[in-house]
């Protein structure tokens, strides 16, 4: 760690430029040049130069030099040095009072993954510029706090007279994509057209490749596949990122054949060489569609033809594809030949496949043990899967043992939530939620849905009900209160008739909710689009786009 504060500098001066404003200006130009180089070695030199300049008779004005060196620290994610610079800025009375220095500090904390520190500083800036707001919103988006980012954007519009620029809208597009907020995304798109549209025909936006890639990603992640396809088709030029995002979007929506065809069009017709991300996208398509032979072919093509070294994501796709298709031994061979250490996701994929394919207790227990040995926040899923295997084998003592281990080790199941956007506001539900202002009407609608489902012959699938609900009636009641059912009920109460209900869920859809979503789509004559942790499910006319393979 470099010591950057003037008070801690050694007495020996390692660098002494000639005194005077000319020398100071030259030093600042050099400092800025090093900081903007986007090279780690040169950014590090910027930190060293700033340190040496502080010990000269005429150091550059701090309000000029600090933003430059803070930019270098942000590029390096050099938090200790950044905190020293913050302390120096505060000592000199420049933080948070000097807007440019404060904005540079916001960027630093955002780059270091500390949105809390960035928003704490943001609230103390007396005269926030548009850059201040943009940096704060972007910090939240980068940390995955998409709803908070959208709330901050609304606050900017409500409480200031600042007009959003293209940078603002780019961040908002990312937040909308993460939150699945389609109507807000459409609004952000309109802002872009107004900001960059020139004479109003939107030509500047249509020519901007980065913006168009963001729009494809936005509409794809919000469940509006047709809009994503429209933006992609109308692009006058496409780079590799354009093809990658469209191939992955089609894959995630279950348009597996179209995704694979687009990959072939890119490589064979457009003669564009794929990169590692492209192969993640096309292998994901194969995985979502159970295309084993195609997956094998594309994996071999990546290694043999394009000389791309497989990453953990490629191995993860192949292991999941093979294991779910019943080729567990081949999947294990893939793992044995990996050039990196398997992560918890790979072991959980194998464990899940062992459970579904009845691979035997010995192998299943071995997979669970390996999964538990890898540090991971989602360890609860391993315990849940293992307990189901024991329950199906009627080994109730082992089920109890798993539950005791979870309690002893403080393992808690990740809480599920489902969100739905309505009129520009995102409504979020958890299982058994009663906090929503419309809760009474939501539960009345749930009762109506339940009666229709029962009349249609529905019987709950209890295989994935919570372990704590050991009585079938209790399990059925727990399933009925799952968060996506509350979101569907809310959507039926509030959505425009005939419009799709779009739901984002942070966990994988359970089998029973998948079944009732298909039934509800048929009984109520509507489309329900659910984005879960793995993929999109388009429920319509009693069937799902995943073809029950997920």
Domain assignments of the chain as residue spans, ordered by start: 1-94, 341-414, 418-544
Read off the pLDDT of residues 491-518 as tens digits, 9 standing for 90 and up.
Answer: 999 999 989 999 999 999 989 999 999 9
Task: Name the residue with higher pLDDT: 366 or 267.
Answer: 267
pLDDT tier for residue 233 given thresholds of 50, 70 and 90: very high
Q: What is the 3-state secondary structure (H, E, C) of 343-409?
A: CHHHHHHHHHHHHHCCCCHHHHHHHHHHHHHCCCCCCHHHHHHHHHHHHHCCCHHHHHHHHHHHHHC
Tell me what pLDDT residue 6 has: 43
- Contact in structure between 169 and 193 (CB atoms under 8 Å): no
Distance CA 326, CA 330 (A): 9
pLDDT tier for residue 55 given thresholds of 50, 70 and 90: confident
- Contact in structure between 227 and 249 (CB atoms under 8 Å): no
Nearest Cα neighbor of 344 from 308, 383, 287 is 383
Judge whether residue 213 has pLDDT over 80.
yes
Which DSSP symbol is given to 163? Answer: P
Tell me what pLDDT residue 384 has: 82
User: pLDDT > 70: what percent of the chain?
Assistant: 90
Judge whether residue 478 has pLDDT over 70.
no
Tell me what pLDDT residue 101 has: 96
Q: Are strands 501-505 and 528-531 parallel, antiparallel or unpaired?
A: parallel
Distance CA 514, CA 190 (A): 35
Distance CA 193, CA 496 (A): 26
Tell me what pLDDT residue 14 has: 36
Nearest Cα neighbor of 445 from 389, 496, 506, 520 is 520
Tell me what pLDDT residue 147 has: 93
Judge whether residue 321 has pLDDT over 70.
yes
Cβ density class 160-188: b for 16+ within 10 Å, e for less: eeeebebbbbbbbbbbbbbbbbbbbbbeb
pLDDT tier for residue 201 given thresholds of 50, 70 and 90: low
Q: In sequence order, what are the beta bridge partners of 211?
A: none
Q: Give the pTM.
A: 0.85
Read off the pLDDT of residues 122-141 as tens digits, 9 standing for 90 and up.
Answer: 999 999 999 999 999 999 99
The mean predicted confidence, pLDDT, of the chain is 88
Q: Is residue 124 left, alpha or beta, with left meaning phi > 0 and alpha meaning psi from -120 to 50?
A: alpha
């Amino acid at each position: 760690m470099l010591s950057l504060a003037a008070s801690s500098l050694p007495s020996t001066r390692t660098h002494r430029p000639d005194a005077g404003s000319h020398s100071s200006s030259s030093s600042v130009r050099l400092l800025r040049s090093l900081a903007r180089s986007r090279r780690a070695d040169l950014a590090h030199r910027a930190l060293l130069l700033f340190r040496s300049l502080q010990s000269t008779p005429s150091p550059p004005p701090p309000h000029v030099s600090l933003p430059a060196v803070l930019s270098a620290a942000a590029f390096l994610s050099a938090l200790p040095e950044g905190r020293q610079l913050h302390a120096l800025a505060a000592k000199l009375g420049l933080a948070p009072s000097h807007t440019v220095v404060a904005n540079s500090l916001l960027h630093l904390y955002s780059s270091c993954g500390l949105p809390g520190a960035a928003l704490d500083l943001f609230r103390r800036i007396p005269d926030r510029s548009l850059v201040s707001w943009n940096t704060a919103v972007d910090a939240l988006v980068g940390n995955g706090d998409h709803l908070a980012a959208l709330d901050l954007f609304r606050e900017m519009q409500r409480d200031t007279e600042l007009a959003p620029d293209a940078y603002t809208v780019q961040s908002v597009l990312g937040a909308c994509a993460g939150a699945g907020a389609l109507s807000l995304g459409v609004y952000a798109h309109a802002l872009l057209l107004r900001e960059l549209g020139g004479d109003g025909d939107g030509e500047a936006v249509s020519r901007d490749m980065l913006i168009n890639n963001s729009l494809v990603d936005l509409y794809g992640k919000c469940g509006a596949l047709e809009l994503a396809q429209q933006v992609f088709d109308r692009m006058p030029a496409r780079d590799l990122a354009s093809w990658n995002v469209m191939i992955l979007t089609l894959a995630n929506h279950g348009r597996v054949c179209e995704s694979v065809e687009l990959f072939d069009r890119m490589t064979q017709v457009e003669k564009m060489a794929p990169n590692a991300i492209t192969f993640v996208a096309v292998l994901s398509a194969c995985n979502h569609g159970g295309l084993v032979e195609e997956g094998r072919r594309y994996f071999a093509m990546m290694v043999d033809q394009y000389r791309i070294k497989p990453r953990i994501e490629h191995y993860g796709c192949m292991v999941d594809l093979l294991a779910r298709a019943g080729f567990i031994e081949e999947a294990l061979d893939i793992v044995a030949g990996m050039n990196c250490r398997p992560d918890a996701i790979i072991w959980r994929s194998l464990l899940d496949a062992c459970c579904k394919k009845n691979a035997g207790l010995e192998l299943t227990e071995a997979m669970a043990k390996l999964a538990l040995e890898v540090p991971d926040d989602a360890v609860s899923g391993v315990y849940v899967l293992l307990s189901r295997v024991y329950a199906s084998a009627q080994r109730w003592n082992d089920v109890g043992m798993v539950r005791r281990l979870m309690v002893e080790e403080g393992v808690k199941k990740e809480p599920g939530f489902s969100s739905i956007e309505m009129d520009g506001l995102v409504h979020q539900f958890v299982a058994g939620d009663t906090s929503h202002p419309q809760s009474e009407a939501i539960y009345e609608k749930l009762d109506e849905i339940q009666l229709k489902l029962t009349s249609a012959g529905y019987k709950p699938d209890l295989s994935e009900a919570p372990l704590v609900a050991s009585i079938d009636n209790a399990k059925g009641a727990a399933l009925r209160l799952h968060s996506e059912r509350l979101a569907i009920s809310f959507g039926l109460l509030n959505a425009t008739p005939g419009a799709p209900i779009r739901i984002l869920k942070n966990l994988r859809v359970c089998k029973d909710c998948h079944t009732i979503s298909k039934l509800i789509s048929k009984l109520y004559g509507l489309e329900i689009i659910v984005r879960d942790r793995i993929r999109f499910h388009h429920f319509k006319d009693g069937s799902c786009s995943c073809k029950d393979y997920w």
